[in-house]
Amino acid sequence: MNRFLLLPIVLLTFACQSRKETVPDAQQIVDCAIEAAGGDRYHTSVIQFTFRDRQYRTFRESGKRVLMRITQTDSSLIEDRLAGASFERKIDGVPQVLADSTRQKLAEAVNSVHYFAYLPNGLNDAAVNKAYLGRVTLEDSEYYKVQVTFDQEGGGTDYEDVFVYWFNARTYLPEFLAYEYHTNGGGKRFRRAFNERVIGGMRFVDYRNYKYEGPLPVAELDSLYLRDALELLSLVELENVEVIPGNYN
């Protein structure tokens, strides 16, 4: 490793480790988590992967972050593109006229997959509010529990959703998360990360996705996980992950 790059990493590691001696702060935990998982590489790289037979790609263009989803059917190539608040769908290169409700639904679907793929990146967005909920033990490891909520302004159509993250107290990496959502009838989910790998200096994980139907708030779903009282709903697995560095457009 280049010695000029090593110094900032050493200083960051020391700063994060030293915080363990004091009561942690939600913002500091998230800062350390983002740096540990890849830092600025999230913003300076082209990232692409496959999820459930669809291709996803993110890059920056004219200063904007662009999220793509490409679907190849038997007869057509469908390209969905989300840049800021602007969404566009093309079929075989032809822009489509969409109803507002359809455009919103498609944009949310594209954004959701990208959001989970790059966590903990995104937890420092302007509309995000973070609160430290305490330190807990899960599967013989210590975790910092942090709740995330969103401002209505800038928080998107899902601003009422509530997320909780369990950050490993040693590595600061998020290994569990839970969330309550309100679209499509709403629901609660709990996820356990697995298959952690580092590609292009960035951390990627897959998830075991559990569902819960009951009155407990999402911040308490870890207690049900420990009792094996959650129902496994699906696996969330990213395939063919590729990171191309140096996209500064």
29 falls within a domain: yes
pLDDT at 187: 93
19 falls within a domain: no
pLDDT at 3 > cutoff 60: no
Both tokens of residue 76? 């057509």
Contact partners, residue 215, CB within 8 Å, separation at least 6:
none
Per-residue confidence band for 24, with pLDDT thresholds at 50, 70 and 90: confident
83-129 residue pLDDT tens = 988 999 999 999 999 999 999 999 999 999 999 999 999 999 989 99
Residues 132, 32 contacting (CB under 8 angstroms): no
121 falls within a domain: yes
Provide the pairing of β-strand 64-72 with 77-83. Answer: antiparallel
pLDDT at 19 > cutoff 70: no
Q: Poorest-confidence range of 63-67, 151-155, 173-177? A: 151-155
Please, how many CA atoms are within 13 Å of residue 71, restricted to the half-sphere of its CB? 12
Task: Give the strand order in the sheet containing 77-83.
Answer: 94-95, 86-91, 77-83, 64-72, 54-61, 45-51, 239-245
| Angstrom distance (rounded) from CA 177 to CA 116 | 10
Cut 0.75: pTM above it: yes
Q: Within the chain, where are the H helices?
A: 3-18, 26-37, 41-44, 100-117, 221-226
**Amino acid identity at 190:** F
CATH code, domain carrying 212? 2.50.20
Q: Range of 89's domain? A: 24-245
12 falls within a domain: no
pLDDT at 13 > cutoff 80: no
Per-residue confidence band for 62, with pLDDT thresholds at 50, 70 and 90: confident
1 falls within a domain: no
Specify the number of domains making up the chain: 1
Q: What is the DSSP string of 97-162?
A: ---HHHHHHHHHHHHHHHHHHTTTTTTTSTTEEEEEEEEEEETTEEEEEEEEEE-STTS-TTTT-E
